Amino acid sequence: MAEKLFYSMGEVAEMFDVKPSLLRYWEEQFPALKPMRNKKGNRHYSPRDIELLKTLYHLIKERGMTLDGAKKALREERKTGTVARNAELMERLQRIRAMLEEVREDLKADADALIDREQEISDTPAPDKQGRAVLHLEQTPPVEEKPRVKRARKKKNDDEKELFAFYEQSLF
């Protein structure tokens, strides 16, 4: 996304793939998160707020911390700066993983195309000494069919017949 001065709540929720209500809840729980509001009361997140949300998202969603644990980690992060670095590393690793998955898909597509090409080549008849195409028919053994076994049908009792007739009448 292009760098902007402010992002709307909908844009931020879409960035993190969360609902806007979660952003409002995090705003209540973390006093450091204070987005600006316009005259209507709509929240506008600055790039600083986005960075804080990235850190919160990393702690809560990716690392599975509780809100209290995330608050403690944020306090420690102010002293040491480790959480922001971990979040940055996670983001880089996710980008690398996405690129590797793209490469894997490209390689699969290339391999499938190569297999199809080899199959086309092997399907074409081989030329004889004069350069004419010669078809070689392979002898395939006949498929043996297993004899079918007829199973004896179970005779229905008169009670079952009456029940079936009763259900048939009640359904229709």
Q: Which residue has the higher pLDDT, 44 or 141?
A: 44
Report the distance separating Cα 18 and Cα 53, nearest Å. Answer: 11
The answer to whether residue 112 is domain-embedded is yes
- Mean per-residue pLDDT, 24-47: 89
CATH code of the domain in which 89 resides: 1.10.1660.10
Quick one: pLDDT at residue 19? 92
Quick one: pLDDT at residue 89? 75
Domain extent for 83: 1-121
Residue type, 74: L
DSSP 115-126: HHHHHHHHHSPE
Query: Which tokens go with 12?
Result: 């931020």
The residues that bridge with 43 in the sheet, in sequence order, are 37
Q: Which residue has the higher pLDDT, 80 or 171?
A: 80
Residue type, 64: G
Query: Which tokens go with 10?
Result: 């909908």
Quick one: pLDDT at residue 156? 55
- Mean per-residue pLDDT, 72-76: 84
- Mean per-residue pLDDT, 115-124: 69
The answer to whether residue 128 is domain-embedded is no
CA 47 to chain centre: 28
The residues that bridge with 133 in the sheet, in sequence order, are 127
Among candidates 16, 104, 106, which has minimal Cα distance to 61? Answer: 16
The answer to whether residue 18 is domain-embedded is yes
Which residue is it, tokens 């702690």?
59
The answer to whether residue 51 is domain-embedded is yes
